[in-house]
């Protein structure tokens, strides 16, 4: 048996006991975000996700990440030795890939303790059927999932976040009620005249902007077919307070993630019309724009392509999917989560064999992360010190050698300018390090035992190996063309390292 609270509690315990003080925030003035991947294993095949009351399962944290930062595009490197995106969700996912590479190494050396078993194709492996993976995040993912309706009752209770305070919060959703600056008003007016915006209608005849592929003008009720599962926690609270069928929505929580360049932009109208929902977004930078897509967008992608990435797909018959996504105690909307992670991609067709848009379980825990922005703020209510996001990111993987990594600005913490580019400056989860781990797997196998995609081919660069994972690349092409057309792709020059 497993529940959202049990998964959250396990992750918080792991954070407290297995991660060092180095890289954690100073609780007097700093906060951070936490994410993890938990392996859930049962004694019976395919019974794990259902988890009936009498089923015994073992739960183990196999990857963990903390962090709230991204590097700007001007700091990106063609050598693959810097972490572009250090948001907790991405650090956890890359730490998970490191764990999967280690488990694939165990499988290739015929060790039964591996999570993988032989597939039906030569050189291919698949996940044991009694194992699933659950993703945990202490906060709602930045981007589309963080655009959460705020009811009138919540609005009265909530403390408003000022513009200055909000500037450092790229990793957490936030509410911001101050008026538009003159430039924003002009931009908003221009938006209204240049684009057709589809809007969600709220019960009080207000509108909640949403974009669809064809941008057709259409009124869609916020209410979904299955009200019991889609009503957000805060909406349910508001219903109890007011005794009404539906609360009056007066605003939305804001996300710091910006709409992708060249695509439709937010209207920035005060209140519920501030954001357009359903859009692809990039994480904000400090002056220098980033090329990192929002965590909402990345989770939507992982929900179709899996978490293993292109390289590991050479060895896998099926992608490694997440069975559930659990969010800790924070502003949360089931409707926004479902829209951002599932619904934007659920209509796609003609995916290659083995790939499928997943109906991932979306759950929330009632347990708060001790170093979340909200928790630190509650403790430091009387302090005059400004709360800032922690600059470090921690990566942890369930691997025997150097499981832990603490980074800052994309490199190992403590790296001097002179040391940048050295082996010692690299995180264990940067592209080039994961690539070298993958290459060691390839060279450990005889030619006849290699999968078809790696046999008798001249592959040299990181980009070569990624492109050679044909079914993964085909699935990604289908997903981009049908659901995520504005995705910001890194130029090929950033993939040509060896």
Are 324 and 303 in contact, with CB atoms under 8 Å apart? no
- Asked if residues 327 and 361 have their Cβ atoms less than 8 Å apart, the reply is no
Task: Measure the CA–CA gap between 89 and 93, rounded to whole angstroms.
Answer: 6
Q: Which two tokens stand for residue 324?
A: 């559930």
Question: Is residue 89 among the annotated active site residues?
Answer: yes
- From the list 89, 154, 172, 335, the catalytic residue is 89
CA 482 to chain centre: 20
Residue 245's contacts (CB-CB under 8 Å, 6 or more residues apart) are 239
Q: Are 22 and 379 in contact (CB under 8 A)?
A: no
What's the DSSP call for residue 48? T
Q: What angle do CA 67, 71, 76 make, to 5 degrees?
A: 135
Half-sphere CA count of 177, side-chain side, radius 13 A? 9
E strands, 105-181, are: 116-118, 125-127, 131-137, 149-151
Sign of the Cα torsion 232, 139, 327, 158 reads negative
Owner of token pair 């109890």: 240
| Cβ contact 397:38 at 8 Å | no
Nearest Cα residue to 157 out of 242, 89, 75, 93: 242
3-state class (DSSP) for residue 81: coil
Looking at residue 267, the DSSP 8-state letter turns out to be: -
Which residues on neighbouring strands pair with residue 396, listed in sequence order? 64, 404
CA angle 187, 191, 194 (to 5 degrees): 135
Q: Of 19, 83, 100, 73, which is closest to residue 426 (Cα–Cα)?
A: 83
Active site residues: 89
């Amino acid at each position: 048996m497993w529940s959202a609270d049990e998964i959250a509690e396990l992750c918080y315990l792991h954070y407290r006991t297995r991660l060092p003080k180095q890289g954690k925030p100073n609780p007097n003035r700093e906060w951070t975000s936490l994410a993890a991947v938990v392996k859930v294993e049962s004694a019976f095949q395919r019974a794990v996700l259902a988890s009936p009351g009498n089923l015994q399962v073992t739960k183990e944290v196999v990857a963990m990440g903390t962090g709230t930062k991204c590097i700007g595009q001007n700091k990106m490197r063609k050598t693959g030795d810097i972490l572009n995106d250090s948001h907790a969700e991405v650090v956890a996912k890359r730490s998970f890939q490191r764990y999967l590479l280690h488990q694939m190494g165990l499988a290739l050396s015929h060790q039964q303790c591996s999570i993988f078993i032989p597939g039906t194709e030569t050189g291919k492996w698949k996940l044991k059927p009694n194992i699933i993976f659950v993703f945990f995040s202490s906060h709602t993912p930045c981007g589309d999932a963080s655009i959460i309706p705020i009811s009138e009752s919540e609005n009265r209770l909530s403390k408003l976040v000022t513009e200055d305070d909000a500037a450092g919060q790229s990793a957490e959703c936030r509410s911001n009620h101050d008026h538009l600056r003159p430039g924003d008003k002009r931009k908003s007016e221009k938006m209204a005249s240049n684009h057709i915006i589809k809007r969600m209608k709220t019960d009080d005849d207000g509108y909640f902007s949403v974009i669809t592929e064809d941008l057709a003008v259409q009124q869609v009720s916020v209410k979904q077919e299955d009200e019991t599962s889609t009503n957000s926690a805060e909406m349910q609270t508001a219903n109890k307070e007011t005794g009404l069928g539906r609360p009056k929505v007066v605003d939305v929580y804001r996300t710091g993630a910006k709409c992708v360049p060249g695509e439709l932009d937010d209207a920035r109208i005060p209140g519920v019309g501030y954001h357009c929902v359903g859009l692809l977004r990039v994480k904000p930078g400090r002056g220098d724009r980033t090329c990192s897509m929002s965590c909402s967008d990345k989770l939507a992608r992982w929900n179709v392509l899996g978490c293993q990435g292109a390289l590991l797909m050479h060895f896998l018959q099926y992608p490694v999917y997440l069975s559930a996504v659990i969010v800790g105690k924070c502003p949360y909307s089931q409707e926004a989560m479902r829209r951002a992670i599932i619904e934007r991609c659920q209509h796609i067709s003609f995916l290659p064999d083995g790939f499928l848009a997943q109906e991932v379980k979306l759950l929330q825990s009632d347990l708060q992360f001790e170093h979340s922005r909200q928790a630190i703020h509650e403790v430091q209510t009387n302090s005059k010190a400004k709360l800032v996001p922690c600059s470090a990111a921690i990566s942890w993987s369930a691997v025997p050698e150097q499981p832990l990594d603490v980074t800052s600005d994309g490199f190992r913490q403590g790296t001097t300018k002179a040391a940048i580019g050295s082996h010692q400056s690299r995180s264990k989860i940067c592209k080039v390090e994961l690539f070298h781990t993958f290459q060691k797997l390839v060279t450990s196998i005889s030619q006849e035992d290699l999968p078809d995609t790696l046999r008798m081919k001249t592959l040299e660069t990181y980009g070569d190996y990624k492109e050679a994972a044909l079914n993964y690349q085909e699935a990604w092409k289908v997903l981009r063309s049908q659901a995520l057309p504005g995705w910001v792709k890194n130029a090929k020059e950033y993939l040509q390292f060896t």
